[in-house]
Chain A
Amino acid sequence: MDRFRLLVLSEFRLFRTAIPIHVVAILQPTVMYVLMAVILVQPTFDMEVDRPTTPEGWALVRAMEEVGSPIGDPYIQPVLVNWDGGPVSRQVVVVEAKRDRPVAVQVYGLIDSNLVKNFRNRLTAAALRLWNSELGDRAVLVEEHPWLPRDVPYKVYFGMALLPLSAFVAAAFTGSILMAQEFELQTILEYRLSPVAVSLILGARLTRLVLSALIAVVILILVIGLVTGFWPRAVGSVLLILLPVAVIAGCMGVLAGLLFRRSIPAFLVGLVSGFAGWVLGSGFGLAAGFGQAYQWVSRLTPFAHATELLFPYYFGASIGRPLFSALFLATLSLALLALTALAYRRRVTAEV
Chain B
Amino acid sequence: MKRFWILLATEFKAWRHDPIAAMGGLIPPTFLLIAFGLLFGGRLTFKVALLDHDQGPYGPLLRATFGEVLSPFGTPYYDLVDLSEDQAWDAYAAHRIDGVWVVPADFSQRLEAGQNPRIEMHFSNYNDDRAKNHRIYSAEILWRFYEKIGLPGPPLALAEEYPRPAMIDWFPVISVGIVLLSYMLGGMINMFMLTQKEQVARITLEFGLTPRSMAWVLVPKLLVALIMGLLTGTVLLGVVYLWLGAWPGAYLWAVWLLAGLVILFWVPITLLLGLRARYFAGVLATILTGLTVFFIGGGLSMVRYNKANVPWFSWLFPNTYAVDPLRDLILFHAWPADWAPTLLILAGFATLSLAAGLGLTARELRRLD
Question: Which residues of chain A have a CB within 8 Å of any CB of chain B?
Answer: 18, 20-21, 24, 28, 31-32, 35-36, 38-39, 41, 43, 46, 56, 59-60, 67, 69, 71-73, 75, 88-90, 95, 98, 101-118, 120-125, 127-128, 130-131, 134-148, 150-154, 157, 177, 263-264, 267, 272, 275-276, 279, 284-286, 288-289, 294, 311, 315, 317, 319
**Can you add 4 more A-B contacts, CB < 8 Å, to A113-B71, A125-B136?**
A43-B128, A72-B132, A125-B135, A142-B138
Q: Cα distance A130–B280 when bound, in Å?
A: 62
A138 touches B156 (CB 8 A): no
- CB neighbours of B127 from chain A (8 A): 152, 154, 157, 285
- CB neighbours of B152 from chain A (8 A): 134-135
Q: Cα distance A69–B164 when bound, in Å?
A: 32
Given contacts A147-B123, A147-B124, contact A21 B280 (CB under 8 A): yes
B96 touches A289 (CB 8 A): yes
B125 touches A41 (CB 8 A): no
A103 touches B157 (CB 8 A): yes
Query: A39's contact among B114, B159, B284, B309, by CB below 8 Å, is which?
Result: B309
Residue of B nearest to A134 (CB): B155
Instruction: List residues 156-178 of chain B with CB under 8 A from any CB of chain A.
Output: 156-164, 167-170, 173
A141 touches B118 (CB 8 A): yes
The yes or no answer to B143 lying at the interface (CB within 8 A) is yes
Q: Cα distance A114–B311 when bound, in Å?
A: 21
The yes or no answer to B137 lying at the interface (CB within 8 A) is yes
- CB neighbours of B309 from chain A (8 A): 39
Q: Cα distance A95–B159 when bound, in Å?
A: 10
Query: B140's contact among A113, A121, A276, by CB below 8 Å, is which?
Result: A121
The yes or no answer to B39 lying at the interface (CB within 8 A) is yes
Q: Cα distance A61–B161 when bound, in Å?
A: 20
Query: B142's contact among A103, A107, A140, A276, by CB below 8 Å, is which?
Result: A140
B163 touches A286 (CB 8 A): no
Residue in B128, B130, B151, B152 whose Cβ sees the most chain A Cβ within 10 Å: B128
Segment at the A interface, from B200-208, B247-255, B288-296, B339-347 = B288-296
Q: Cα distance A76–B133 when bound, in Å?
A: 13
- CB neighbours of A276 from chain B (8 A): 31
The yes or no answer to B244 lying at the interface (CB within 8 A) is no
A140 touches B111 (CB 8 A): yes
Q: Cα distance A106–B160 when bound, in Å?
A: 5
Residue of A nearest to B300 (CB): A39
- CB neighbours of A107 from chain B (8 A): 160-161
B138 touches A39 (CB 8 A): no
A127 touches B158 (CB 8 A): yes
Query: B288's contact among A28, A39, A152, by CB below 8 Å, is which?
Result: A28
B96 touches A288 (CB 8 A): yes
The yes or no answer to B1 lying at the interface (CB within 8 A) is no
Query: B154's contact among A71, A131, A141, by CB below 8 Å, is which?
Result: A131
- CB neighbours of A118 from chain B (8 A): 136
**A–B pairs, 28, beta carbons within 8 Å:** A18-B280, A60-B156, A72-B131, A75-B136, A88-B163, A90-B306, A102-B157, A104-B156, A105-B159, A106-B158, A107-B160, A109-B304, A112-B168, A114-B44, A122-B136, A124-B139, A127-B154, A128-B154, A134-B152, A135-B151, A138-B111, A141-B118, A142-B138, A143-B118, A146-B123, A147-B123, A267-B280, A286-B126
A144 touches B35 (CB 8 A): no
- CB neighbours of B98 from chain A (8 A): 289
Question: Which residues of chain B have a CB within 8 Å of any CB of chain A?
Answer: 20, 31, 35, 38-39, 44, 71-73, 94-96, 98, 111, 114-133, 135-140, 142-143, 145-146, 151-152, 154-164, 167-170, 173, 278, 280-281, 283-285, 288, 292, 295-296, 300-302, 304-309, 311, 332
Given contacts A75-B132, A113-B168, contact A124 B159 (CB under 8 A): no
B160 touches A108 (CB 8 A): yes
Given contacts A109-B305, A138-B114, A142-B138, contact A103 B156 (CB under 8 A): yes
Minimum Cβ distance to chain A for residue B102 (Å)? 9
Minimum Cβ distance to chain B for residue A316 (Å)? 10
- CB neighbours of B169 from chain A (8 A): 113-114
- CB neighbours of B163 from chain A (8 A): 88, 108-111
Query: A120's contact among B20, B121, B160, by CB below 8 Å, is which?
Result: B160
A56 touches B155 (CB 8 A): yes
Q: Cα distance A88–B161 when bound, in Å?
A: 11
A128 touches B143 (CB 8 A): yes
Minimum Cβ distance to chain B for residue A284 (Å)? 6
- CB neighbours of B39 from chain A (8 A): 279, 284
Q: Cα distance A124–B139 when bound, in Å?
A: 6
Q: Cα distance A98–B161 when bound, in Å?
A: 14
B155 touches A124 (CB 8 A): no
Minimum Cβ distance to chain B for residue A275 (Å)? 7
Query: A112's contact among B167, B285, B288, by CB below 8 Å, is which?
Result: B167
B123 touches A113 (CB 8 A): no
A105 touches B280 (CB 8 A): no
B305 touches A89 (CB 8 A): yes
- CB neighbours of A18 from chain B (8 A): 280-281
Given contacts A46-B308, A113-B170, A152-B125, contact A131 B155 (CB under 8 A): yes
- CB neighbours of B20 from chain A (8 A): 264
Given contacts A106-B161, A111-B163, A279-B38, contact A125 B128 (CB under 8 A): no
- CB neighbours of B139 from chain A (8 A): 121, 124-125, 128
Q: Cα distance A60–B157 when bound, in Å?
A: 11
Q: Cα distance A327–B44 when bound, in Å?
A: 34
Q: Cα distance A108–B284 when bound, in Å?
A: 41
Residue of B nearest to A267 (CB): B280
A141 touches B119 (CB 8 A): yes
A105 touches B160 (CB 8 A): yes
A130 touches B156 (CB 8 A): yes
Query: A41's contact among B38, B129, B136, B137, by CB below 8 Å, is which?
Result: B129
Minimum Cβ distance to chain A for residue B197 (Å)? 14
Residue in A114, A139, A285 whose Cβ sees the most chain B Cβ within 10 Å: A114
B116 touches A141 (CB 8 A): yes
Minimum Cβ distance to chain A for residue B157 (Å)? 4
Q: Cα distance A72–B20 when bound, in Å?
A: 49
A39 touches B124 (CB 8 A): no
Q: Cα distance A131–B132 when bound, in Å?
A: 20
Residue in B72, B111, B121, B161 whose Cβ sees the most chain A Cβ within 10 Å: B72
